[in-house]
Amino acid sequence: MTNNDILKRIRYTFDYTDQDMMRIFKLVDHEVNRELVCDWLKKEEVETYTDITDKELATFLNGFIIEHRGRKDGPQPEAESSLSNNMILRKLKIALNLQSEEIIALLASKGKSISKHELSAFFRNPDHAKYKHLNDQYLRNFLHAMQTKYKKDN
């Protein structure tokens, strides 16, 4: 999955307008203009399509956390310059205040069965012996399940 696909799915799931997207970036003191947001959301075949970088998506997800959970005390987390599927899942889990059982249920609703131990491996430090890389299929299924749960017109 591309970063643009992830951004599009989040936008669609929560019915965010261009203004909402710009506001979420602004929550983490990052200015983006409407043209750039639109270029990220275009189809790849369109000439003005622009890839959203890992750092930009991490910045958006940090704003998404603030949008849903509020600003935490102290210094705000810095956006990662490199983003993995595991980190994306972790940020979505934090933003939506999801417990492990809820993530397992969301994945099960899309035909992906996973145990609590398998799920915890996705949230481990990458240097840990039991760390497991989250593949695109799991992330795609999670985003689809998230859409089913949070989309207003579903």
DSSP string for the chain:
--HHHHHHHHHHHTT--HHHHHHHHHTTT----HHHHHHHHS-TTSTT--PPPHHHHHHHHHHHHHHHH-PPSSSPPPPPSS--HHHHHHHHHHHTT--HHHHHHHHHTTT----HHHHHHHTS-TTSTT-----HHHHHHHHHHHHHHH-TT-
Instruction: Give residue 2's pLDDT.
Output: 96
Instruction: Give residue 154's pLDDT.
Output: 57
pLDDT category of residue 73 using cuts at 50, 70 and 90: confident
Q: Which two tokens stand for residue 92?
A: 């979505």
Q: Chain-wide mean pLDDT for the chain?
A: 95
pLDDT category of residue 109 using cuts at 50, 70 and 90: very high
- Mean pLDDT for 134-140 is 95
Q: Which two tokens stand for residue 117?
A: 């131990």
Per-residue pLDDT tens over the stretch 33-67: 999 999 999 999 999 999 999 999 999 999 999 99
DSSP code of residue 133: -
Considering the chain, what percentage of its residues have pLDDT values greater than 90? 92
Q: Which amino acid is at 90?
A: R
pLDDT category of residue 72 using cuts at 50, 70 and 90: confident
H/E stretch holding 100: helix 100-108
